[in-house]
Structure 1
């Protein structure tokens, strides 16, 4: 009987699981990683070409020392003030019974929709005498503090209030609970946001050029505009890259290795909002004051110049600049997402030591100032690929390098949510590896790819330095057209370009705010 059953029901044979060949994808990821190393390779090549004596002459001189000191002072003053403002706003909107917390939270993020150099334009229009370090710190804080507010607010939503209750039950006053219990748990978001602001301060050109405050970035652009392949500009670029790498290392040291995850049983209860009582009205001065400084002044300034200029200022090439900006932004967004896909797919499907190195190459280039990336591409094309100098190809290549990490983040998260078993099932049913990835993974990762394209595109809308240095003759985006008009002190004609940049940037603000809420599980 057993033999009959065995013959009637044959034992299924074990089939070999279909696997996607990783080698072609690794090659593609390696090519993108090699291109992303071009800025560092360029700095090393120039240093080798000019020789150590010339390097000492160009780098170790009083002018470079002054620029480094100015940049250091800017960082040391701006970051602590930004931390204080961001943490205070996050605490008020997430942990207190302040009226209309959602409105204030949205207003705290909205300044990101206004490019930093538009903030500077608004304040210089209002106070023509704004110059120097103090003015630079002031405008930088109101322009960049949302980069800290977003991660800090998200972290406050996730903290378990039971830890604070335990500290209070041991006799600690509310102020002591905040500084000894809450603030240490915010170390990672504070370090991450501070690093982002610090890198922006290193790379920012328009904001500081408008208020006549010299930094390393402004000096590089000035040198480049006066002499296209200036060894002085290249060496200052090397100093700027060194500063970026030092900041990355400093952030790793300050972040530490402490654990911040909750390991207790059960789930954390929602955070209780603290009653402000008599302090309710006084503390309203912080969100109200920030809303006036970050949004009220720019909007009032823009409305004033639009009123003065009338309808005629909208006919001076605004439509053409909008069209060229949108075309470049969409093209750069799509190309950056395509370039990021091999690495994003590998980091999820085949993690390993080589993949981690390649992924680091993809991410590091996003920390480099746009002026350094543009300087490297411009100088290399002048030296070796002159027909490509000031072409759309080089401009788009600069955008891809600058915004590659933005595309990586959304893609990686979406691919991680697409089960690899679906790809294997598709191949088992006769699909080729390429068809399986296109028909299964790409469709499931489409929302993340769209978000990556949007983030890159909207970053390109506000990009100024690389566009100034790499754009072909006759091509003017909203940012470059705005900059050329403000350089001529024609603030009236520049207003429509600033308005359109803000309009195109608003979706980025909403996307960032939505991602912050999603990260916090709300």
Structure 2
């Protein structure tokens, strides 16, 4: 591994600082993701200083701020601890049944957070509040940390750890000084994804009766149609997102972790757990039961016992096909839009590229309702032909889930030495050909992982789909929400089960990609 300060791109420096075409495409993508922010800013400006103070400087906003910050801090910390601990046990110890645990630890990605909360809430109607919200969101989102950390642990050359121990450093000191710096990009990227998801989480928190800015924005629009009040809350949410992005950038630093060639890398010798083997197995089994057993068990219970249980075959097939189609299209479109931004920020590091990248994260921190209303406003005023079209819905998915693709692509590109691009260009190959023949094959696993993460998000997306989907379009998520909101748990259960079933292959693909196996 080569760790050196970043110097703004490829080593040779033969090209322009920022290639005009790629910069233009990346900026266009950033502008698309900034549309919701523009909508919020326009609402704030239109309200005026006095109105902003009156709407924001209220005890209710302080309560929402406290709830949101507590959820993000506690939930993200829990996901980092659980995800990193599980990854270490699975990848770096002699834990029995490692392939089984690899699949089980990633499987919760196939269970939407609002389905998870449905399972826990149906166990006990008193299951609500901050503790419940932290538990459910941790069980739903810790794989976003587990997967990248596990991949790095698996691919890291153990020679560095051997040298540290040869110098007399103990296991803990070696982990902190040697392993953790190598994990930092994956760890911070996963934590950033979790934090952004928690800022924008709606379905699970609504079910658990835990108020945050997102649920309050939804209530404002639903109960009073108070656009100004909801927009002010969204503005505070944007500020929290900017703080989160700034913190991640400061912690990430600018170190380069790519290396030229694989060298004589060997697999790390597993740490022997010894007497800790049984507690480790119990801990991972308990995690799997809480994250998978509870929601799946509750779905099975309602299917078997509820008087509202029904299996409308035509509706189930139609909504499944719609969810699959939108998931695949959303994954392709979002990953394609994320690629030029990821390339720019990794290959041409600088203030402009970092600004462009940061812009793509803002939309993910906003509720789907705010993103949808922003796109509706733009469409009605400037592009009426796109109103309630699939194109607009795909644009919303790209705005909401760009970070899922960005983190995977950024990590994959960061592990490829820029010198390989220089070699291709020195042989007379054009930039487009270098991208197609050198870069894309090398980042295929990262591209697949990002696409799978986007697919999982699109299949389970709720609020923006409700507002933007063409008339008559129904997905598994919207049908589940409709039935469960009417307390028809038996009727909602088949839609929840189908969501999990069509998400499972994508979750499995993520484990295969991270293991470097053929798919």
The TM-score with structure 2 as length reference comes to 0.81
User: Alignment partner for residue 272 of structure 2, among 269, 272, 275?
Assistant: 275
Aligned counterpart, 1:317: 315
CA distance in 2, matches of 1:483, 1:276: 44
Match of 1:156 among 153, 158, 175: 153
Q: Report the counterpart of residue 200 of structure 1 in structure 2.
A: 197
Secondary structure of 2:41's match?
A: helix
Residues 313-345 of structure 1: CA deviation (Å, up to 9, x unaligned): 344722221122233334434444565576678
TM-score scaled by length of structure 1:
0.80
Provide the aligned length of Structure 1 versus Structure 2: 492
Q: Distance in 2 between matches of 1:115 and 1:221?
A: 19
Among 469, 472, 475, the alignment partner of 1:471 is 469
Q: 1:492 aligns with which of 490, 493, 496?
A: 490
Q: Give, in angstroms, the shift of residue 44 of structure 1.
A: 1.8
Q: Is the 8 A contact 1:228 1:379 kept in 2?
A: no
- SS in structure 2 of the partner of residue 186 of structure 1: helix
Gapped regions of structure 1 (runs ≥ 5):
1-21, 428-432
Partner in structure 2 of residue 501 of structure 1: 499
Which of residues 377, 391, 394 in structure 1 aligns to 2:392?
394
Cα deviation digits, residues 252-303 of structure 1 (max 9, x gap): 222345676789x974543111222222222211111111111111221122
Tell me the CA shift for residue 373 of structure 1: 2.0
Instruction: Report the equivalent of 2:44.
Output: 47
**Residue range with higher mean Cα deviation, 40-49 or 58-67:** 40-49
Q: 1:452 to 1:193 in 2, by over 3 A?
A: closer
Structure 1 residues 334 and 266: CA distance shift in structure 2, 3 A: closer
Q: Which has the larger radius of gyration?
A: 1
Note closer, same or farther for the CA distance 1:283–1:329 as it changes in structure 2 (3 Å cut): closer
2:218 counterpart of 1:221: yes
State the alpha-carbon separation in 2 of the partners of residues 453 and 377 from structure 1: 23
- 1:491 is displaced (CA, Å) by 1.1
Query: Which of residues 32, 36, 39 in structure 1 aligns to 2:33?
Result: 36
Contact between 1:131 and 1:212, CA under 8 Å: does it hold in 2? yes
SS in 2 for 1:326: helix
Q: 2:235 aligns to what?
A: 238
Cα 1:326–1:164 change in 2 (3 A) is: closer
Q: Is the 8 A contact 2:78 2:138 kept in 1?
A: yes
Deviation at 1:367, TM superposition (A): 3.8
Q: What is the alpha-carbon distance in structure 2 between the residues aligned to residue 497 and residue 151 of structure 1?
A: 30
Contact 2:345 2:354 in 1 (8 A): no
Q: Which moves more between the two structures, 441-450 or 165-174?
A: 441-450
Counterpart residue number, 2:81: 84
Deviations, residues 408-440 of structure 1 (Å, cap 9, x unaligned): 678897999999669967x9xxxxx99x89998
Give distance in 2, aligned partners of 1:226 and 1:102: 49
Cα distance in 2 between the residues matched to 1:183 and 1:337: 28
2:123 corresponds to 1:126: yes
Shift of residue 162, structure 1, vs aligned partner: 4.3
8 Å CA contact 1:79–1:197 kept in 2: the answer is: yes
Q: 1:104 aligns with which of 90, 101, 104?
A: 101
Q: Distance in 1 between matches of 2:87 and 2:450?
A: 26
Structure 1 CA distance for aligned equivalents of residues 131 and 460 of structure 2: 24
CA distance in 1, matches of 2:439, 2:179: 41
Deviation at 1:347, TM superposition (A): 7.9
CA contact (8 A) 2:22 2:344 kept: yes
For residues 347 and 258 of structure 1, the distance between their equivalents in structure 2, rounded to whole angstroms, comes to: 13
